Amino acid sequence: MSYTGHIQVFPPIHLLNKRKRDASRVVIDISDDDDDDDSDDLVIIGEKAITHDVIDIAYDDNSNDVVIISEKVNKSSNHANLKDEILKKFGSFKQFDIVSDTSDHIFVGRKYLLKEHQNNWAKRIQKEWKILENNLPDSIFVRVYESRMDLMRAVIIGAEGTPYHDGLFFFDLYLPDDFPNVPPEVSFHNPCSSSKLNPNFGRRGSLCLSLLNTWGGRKNERWRPRVSTILQVLVSLQGLVLTAEPFFNMSSSYVRGSEPGKIMSRSYNEDAFIDSLWTMIHVIRRPLKNFEDFVVGHFFIEAHEILRACKAYRKGAQVGSLVKTSEVHNVDHEVHKSWPEDFTNSLRCPMKKLADEFARIGAMDC
């Protein structure tokens, strides 16, 4: 099914910057083009600020993306200015920076008093800061606090090839008085309160990781005061936890590469991707302190790719199998037809809500 329709202007509502602006309903068809059954099709409707005109919007059958194919309006410069401002702030967002606002940090309630005998502790943390400042990979961003050296916050961008692709995953860190003799405490901001996102994440943000001494492991996999670093913790979270097959992070009798193992892993990835979408929605609605500009800029840029992936997964592509700007690969229609409908049905609600959030920040206009 391919949809083309007129969108009527609705009464004014409060949007960006608390200014009253007109809003329309942006209709985005992400239906299965080669499926005769229209009952499984999904049309996303999101809010978008416009002038008093009618817009024609459709899905481009010649591409794999969701697009606005024509607009019968003379747009003001407001959106262009907003886009420039968003991209400018995003482009200037530093990978490592020292900030002041700790108000929403998970560990802000821990007592903090830098005593004279803790000079070695402070020097070690400053050394950690320097390591982070000079060595962070492109997909990890960190903020430390000038008034609370014991606190840090990091965000990791989910990697391609995983069910976490394009998501933003926030972690708060606490460095106790006896650091580095003990590892840092790390808590994941888990807005879904779900254990389906990753087997290493607890419902209240706890983490199971050998490097944090919260999971078993060989001696060289655990925290070693003279060797281990915060950078190592963050890279481990990205490479060992937010991985392509998180199912195998669990203790299980299933063997990686076996047919039963593949089925269980694919099913787990689908659940993880759905929870990742819900996490995106929450992160956009309630961005954490000191990362507001980063959150808006990231999803402003990635919105279309995320929705393109959702559409491909509904058509049978395996979660995590897509590469940006490429054609849709690995679509097994026979598998898709025989696969339980729970996944495609479960995608409907978060896709609709996520598209609404993308439209609200102006990402569907670019």
Which positions are annotated as active-site residues?
Answer: 208
Q: Give the C-alpha separation, 155 to 95, whole Å.
A: 10
The partner residues of 23 in beta bridges, in order of sequence, read 10, 49
How distant, in Å, are the alpha carbons of 118, 151, 231 from that of 201?
Answer: 32, 20, 19
Tokens of 249: 């992070």
**Amino acid residing at 54:** V
Q: Give the C-alpha separation, 300 to 292, whole Å.
A: 12
How distant, in Å, are the alpha carbons of 143, 162, 163, 206, 317 from that of 340?
Answer: 42, 21, 18, 31, 14
Output 305-308 pairs: Cβ under 8 A, ≥24 positions apart.
Answer: 305/166, 306/166, 306/280, 306/354, 306/358, 307/28, 307/30, 307/44, 307/65, 307/66, 307/351, 307/354, 307/355, 307/358, 308/64, 308/65, 308/66
Contact predicate 177/121, CB 8 Å: yes
* Residue reference for tokens 């807005």: 191
Q: Exposure of 47 by Cβ count < 10 A (0-12 exposed, 13-18 middle, 19+ buried)? A: middle
Tokens of 190: 């888990």
Backbone dihedral region for residue 218 (phi beyond 0: left; psi -120 to 50: alpha; all else: beta) = beta
R_g of the chain computed on alpha carbons: 23
